[in-house]
Structure 1
Amino acid sequence: MTERLQKLLSQAGIASRREAETLIVAGRVTINGQVVTELGTKADPATDQIAVDGKPVRPVDAKIYLLLYKPVGYLTTLKDPEGRPIVTDLLKDIATRVYPVGRLDYNTEGLLLLTNDGEWANRLAHPRHEIEKEYLVRVRGKATPDQIKRLAAGVGLEEGRTAPAKVFLSGESDNNSWLSVTIHEGRNRQVRRMCEAVSLAVVRLKRIRYGFLELGDLKPGEYRHLAPAEVERLVHPGRPRPAGGPGQKDRRR
């Protein structure tokens, strides 16, 4: 079935639709070896050979949406020149190529979404959605009310001030404090850098919620498929809650 070229590029995870339009107009996209620059151009991914900068665009398989409990010690990239473990190593029974929606750094654990639906991933990443991400943060020592207040108000980072966050003390011991930090931005290593900016040293960082999705009883390295209603609700949060509970869990590692 033919589709607009920018939609096909977005679905394949090459770029957002707007970015794909820029690629087309710049003459960087070919269909069957011919450069196309018209935005209304259509193609059939089953029969046409589409390429960007000479690199073939792989047809998208059946859509897959996964919720993974990422363990510490895995990278959210598709390959690593140093040979370190990557999150897709955990998906033993998923033959289709999927990629992470956003990132969690090497030493951060918790909820990570993966998909082969580039358009869906791009919609989630768009700033207008302001999807909340909640983290449980263990910091060294006692977090003071002033530090918590500063985190909640937004702190200055190298690239600019962070948006206000939801921050509260969720527990403490003699040596550590546990904070709940909820943000809707997606800057690189944002929560760690926010804590550093108010002189808090992060000992452990775990993402426990993405929008309405939670880890549930998943253990590190386990994952489940999202239910269709969950997939839809993430990009249309105002719609009714999905019926029937979460998608199927897979405990393979």
Structure 2
Amino acid sequence: MTEETHRIAKLLARAGIASRREVERMIGDGRVAIDGKVLETPATIIADLKGVTVDGKPVGKPEPPRLFRFHKPPGLLTAERDFSGRPTIYSALRNALPQGTPRLMPIGRLDLATEGLLLMTNDGALKRAMELPSTGIPRTYRARAYGDISQSRLEDLIEGITIDGVQYGRIDANLERKTGRNQWIELSLTEGKNREVRRVLEHLGLEVSRLMRTAYGPFELTDLARGQAAEVKQKEVEYFRKQLMRVG
């Protein structure tokens, strides 16, 4: 039987080192080596991670894919570091996760002012699959907005909308409750383009004062407190991965 081989970037992503794109940058920066020899290309084909080091440290065997729900507070960047010194999600995660938790990567992003559910995983392949628009995983948000809007106008978003030349796909939007000119709106979409919800609502003449993601696929924020994290049961992760593979 022929031994199965993969590109090193894929194996390092599966091992939770970073996403494939980030691993490729690390290789370009000379941070990855095999048996002491610095790699020159991410296209290197290997069977396993034996002898592979990142920043001089050996890479361990890939752990099973794990998934965590994290309630991101507003005011945190979805990034590993910020050169201007602004706080990132990892500042809060250090206190929210138990010791021994592997390095985690965010699935998708929430902008600085947006709060709510941010899924974190140790598996680069799972991260990539869940972020791809082609998998059609719905993201659900609740927005508090000021201005005048009707349910019928929100329903027009089901056909998608173009704003400043950018095409946004189907959005299922519902007016939850209204007090004067303030209202809560629930929106479900599958693309998750940069600042999509804010841009669409602002295009409709609304001023967004609060935005929260409440669900990503079958995983919900529920009553998870701000700044807290909770691991998804392994059997739920495996079931979801199997469903995702069928879609892909």
Q: Which moved more, 1:160-169 or 1:182-191?
A: 160-169
What is the aligned partner in structure 1 of residue 88 from structure 2? 86
What is the aligned partner in structure 2 of residue 181 from structure 1? 187
What is the aligned partner in structure 1 of residue 69 from structure 2? 67
Contact 1:109 1:207 (8 Å CA) reproduced: yes
Q: Does 1:217 align with 2:223?
A: yes
Residue type matched to 1:10 in 2? Answer: A
Contact 1:151 1:195 (8 Å CA) reproduced: no
Q: What CA distance in whole angstroms lies between the structure 2 residues aligned with 1:193 and 1:33?
A: 47
TM superposition outliers: structure 1 runs of 4+ over 4 Å? 34-40, 55-58
Identity of aligned residues (%): 30
Residue type matched to 1:123 in 2? Answer: A
Q: As a proportion of its length, which structure holds more helix?
A: 2
Q: How does 1:23-42 map to 2 (within 5 A)?
A: 31=34, 32-33=36-37, 35=39, 41-42=45-46
Q: 1:9 to 1:159 in 2, by over 3 A?
A: farther
Q: Which moved more, 1:224-233 or 1:145-154?
A: 145-154
SS in 2 for 1:49: strand
Contact 2:146 2:207 (8 Å CA) reproduced: yes
> Structure 2 stretches of 5 or more lacking a match?
none
Aligned residues: 230
- The structure 1 residue matched to 2:145, chosen from 139, 144, 153, is 139
> In the TM superposition, what whole-angstrom CA distance separates every residue of 1:39-72 from its partner, at most 9, and x where no partner exists?
682154242336xxxx678736635421001111
Q: 1:196 to 1:56 in 2, by over 3 A?
A: farther
Q: What CA distance in whole angstroms lies between the structure 2 residues aligned with 1:40 and 1:78?
A: 26
Asked which structure has the greater RCO (Cα within 8 Å, sep 6+), the reply is 2
Residue type matched to 2:206 in 1? Answer: L
Q: What CA distance in whole angstroms lies between the structure 1 residues aligned with 2:47 and 2:233?
A: 30
> Structure 1 stretches of 5 or more lacking a match?
240-253
Q: What CA distance in whole angstroms lies between the structure 2 residues aligned with 1:38 and 1:85?
A: 31
Deviation at 1:152, TM superposition (A): 2.8
Q: 1:117 to 1:57 in 2, by over 3 A?
A: farther
Q: Does 1:114 align with 2:106?
A: no
Q: Does 1:152 align with 2:158?
A: yes
Q: 1:203 to 1:233 in 2, by over 3 A?
A: farther
Q: Does 1:49 align with 2:21?
A: no
Q: Does 1:170 align with 2:172?
A: no
Residue type matched to 2:202 in 1? Answer: E
Q: Which moved more, 1:77-86 or 1:108-117?
A: 77-86
Q: Does 1:8 align with 2:11?
A: yes
SS in 2 for 1:45: coil
Q: Does 1:226 align with 2:232?
A: yes
Q: 1:139 to 1:152 in 2, by over 3 A?
A: farther
SS in 1 for 2:206: coil
> In the TM superposition, what whole-angstrom CA distance separates every residue of 1:192-224 from its partner, at most 9, and x where no partner exists?
011112211111111111101111221111110
Q: What CA distance in whole angstroms lies between the structure 1 residues aligned with 2:204 and 2:58?
A: 45
Contact 1:156 1:197 (8 Å CA) reproduced: no
Q: 1:3 to 1:155 in 2, by over 3 A?
A: same
Q: Give TM-score scaled by structure 2 length.
A: 0.79
Q: Give TM-score scaled by structure 1 length.
A: 0.77
Q: Does 1:125 align with 2:131?
A: yes
Q: 1:3 to 1:90 in 2, by over 3 A?
A: farther
